[in-house]
A and B are shown apart, each in its own frame.
Chain A
Amino acid sequence: MANVLWLQGGACSGNTMSFLNAEEPTVVELVTDFGINILWHPSIGLEIGEQVSDLMEDIKAGKIPLDIFVFEGSIVQGPNNTGTMNYFCDRPMKDWVKELSEVAQFVVGIGDCATYGGIPAVEPNPSESTGLQFLKKKKGGFLGADFVSKGGLPVINIPGCPAHPDWVSQILVAIATGRIGDILVDEYHRPKTFFTDFVQTGCTNVNNFAQKIDGGFGKRGGCLFYEVGCRGPMTRASCNRVLWNRVNSKTRANHPCLGCTEPGFPHHDLKKGSVLKTMKHLGILPKDVPTGQSKGIYYLRAGWEKILPYNKTLTETSK
């Protein structure tokens, strides 16, 4: 049995909607079969009114143990660090987050807004939003770089815009079944089990990438890295191993990866020429290259591949 409280700050509810798509287990099965006791959730909680703030007061006072505090959405600090742009139960939401984080065994940030600040934190960041323990790449965020929850871990970040339902449900099950010791986190506090491989791992166009065959919108086949800004080789996430809605992924649907599990999404802060386009030097050299390679080496190798005759079977497509 694990008590879960799920709150939303500067959120679109997208992570909740994604979570409701979960299968094996479904949200209902998490509750009925896996001992996840959802103390309250803004979209599906039954309690309303003072019952909710009473519940939170009881949690704060330790009368009700809080095993997992899930937060979705950015921490809204504006204006001028008052947090009054986001009230919840008549108080700035950020004040609730601070207090609840102190009593929770584990704090889980779900989605980019909770982990890194997300889209609300894009310049000029009108709501002064930040993530729980990061603002973009910078460690600190709302709770501070040194924050460790009672259970001994920093905020467990499950980024993505939205996070995949399985990333959320499997981590909740891991905590509920006593496997917290197996959850290793990376430099951005992401569970390595989901965020070690790159989106490119399992992409159906990976051979096109290797042989530098361009794709594009409305086309079958080809790699989206060269023209329409795919970030699959720079983005750690299991989108092409644990498929979305059980059937697909962005890149399999000819949709460039937007890099939404990496801090900095939307990358280049939406500046002119950066949206659904590959930013280039001299009109040909991609500004962002696959993680782990130096630009010079990448350009050399890619240039070499580009001039070699490629395997023509790769360009065969069928309706």
Chain B
Amino acid sequence: MISKDEILHVAALANLKIDANEVDSFVSQLDKIVGMESKLASVDTTGVEPTYNMGDTNSVFREDKGIHTQTREQMLENVPEVEDNLIKVPTIVDKEDDE
């Protein structure tokens, strides 16, 4: 069983906020899915190497040379708030945290 506290903890780790009226349905759905995934425990994997990556190439080397991609203007085109060619964001350190 996966508890409500665990779900809220996982949501916090993922920078997600779950509305109070939706928590119960998330808990019951995720509990069912994790329950399904738990059946993996029944497979004997002693001595088996995990497969984390695919593809037939292991290491790729290239010359250490800069290449032209986008301009600063292009890079800033999609930024929601720009000031003086910089990305504007709200306070990074809260005043209360300093005190």
Check if A and B associate: no
Residues of B in contact with A (beta carbons under 8 Å apart): none
